[in-house]
Amino acid sequence: MIFHDVAMLSSIVLLYCGSSYALPANTNHNNAKRADPHIMSGKLWKRTDPTIGNGIDTSDPLRGGKLISAEGTTDGAFSQAKEMMNYAVTLPAASVDSIFNKYFNPGDKNTVLAVFNRLLGDGQQDGAAALANINVIGDNDLPAGDPAPAYLEGFDDPDPILGLTDDAFVYPNRDDFDDACATWADEGMAQDMYLLGSILLHEYTHWDWFLGSIHNGAVIDQSGGYGWEGARALDKSLAVYNADSYGWFATELLWATLCAVDGGYNDPHVEKRSE
């Protein structure tokens, strides 16, 4: 698959899969039932994307500009995170389940889709108004030796901070590919398929204040649950509480949908690989 800065991206992805600063660290998944979130109406913005804060220059098309979409398009990472979730909640089971079952127990589908639906606005599909309470900042001041490109701070708060490092902007958007579907048909899943929108979705799922009443636990970065291979191999009883399981399921479904052809990847749901 062809990316801009391929070598750099591949090395970052491998590091990200081994360590992450995306909190929380609590591993107790048997919490008491959480209440549904309540945000005072005066706190909500009309738009349904996170708020861009300090350290992000949206006039730079290779950095902050990658987050936002030109008018009438969905070419920004904020929109593409919602696009991935929309496919999961609107496509028929015949298109979703074979991919879903690689990452989650089949019995957890309603829970996973409820997480996506809440982030999308519960029926509006264009994003929950609460997303505007997330403050997205540029931040390279991570602990020494931590290679994660992003983190969520304040996962139990109504107004968390989502930090993106310089490395996060190396990840592509959906349209930053050359002949992506041809490569997808030849190679099947690959680490390089993860998008900037995938990172955002991953971090959103850590927001337990907003989502915890659905799964009644804490979505963390489970040990060994990073990357598409780690997420697939993870104990499925932990997948609902693993942020990368959500990120990779939605990412794989995006590409399987965009690149689907008769007899291809998504029909008859067999992952094709070149030998």
Q: Is residue 143 part of a domain?
A: yes
Q: Is residue 181 part of a domain?
A: yes
pTM of the full predicted structure? 0.83
Q: How many domains does the chain have?
A: 1
| CATH number of the domain that residue 68 is part of | 3.40.390.10
Task: Kindly give the pairing relationship between strand 135-138 and strand 150-153.
Answer: unpaired
Residue type, 121: G
Which residues in the chain show pLDDT less than 50? Answer: 1-15, 17-32, 37-46, 267-269, 273-275
Backbone angles phi, psi at 51, to 5 degrees: -85, 130
Q: For 33-44, how does the pLDDT look when each residue is reduced to its tens digit (9 = 90+)?
A: 555 544 443 343
Q: For 48-95, how does the pLDDT look when each residue is reduced to its tens digit (9 = 90+)?
A: 899 999 999 999 999 999 999 887 777 899 999 999 999 999 999 999
Q: Which pLDDT belongs to residue 269?
A: 46
Tokens of residue 173, six digits: 């958007």
Q: Is residue 194 part of a domain?
A: yes
Q: Is residue 271 part of a domain?
A: no
Domain that holds residue 23: 6-258
Quote the CA–CA distance of 153 and 147 in Å, as a whole number. Answer: 16
Task: Give 51's strand partners.
Answer: 135
Instruction: Spell 239-262 as b/e; 16+ CB within 10 A means b.
Output: bbbbbbbbbbbbbbbbbbbebeee
> Hey, is 213 helix, strand or coil?
helix
Q: Which pLDDT belongs to residue 85?
A: 97
Q: Which pLDDT belongs to residue 19?
A: 41
Q: Which pLDDT belongs to residue 74?
A: 78
Q: Is residue 236 part of a domain?
A: yes
What is the DSSP code (8-state) at residue 126?
S
Q: Is residue 269 part of a domain?
A: no
Q: Which pLDDT belongs to residue 185?
A: 75
Q: Which pLDDT belongs to residue 140?
A: 84
Task: Kindly give the pairing relationship between strand 135-138 and strand 161-164.
Answer: parallel
Q: Is residue 95 part of a domain?
A: yes
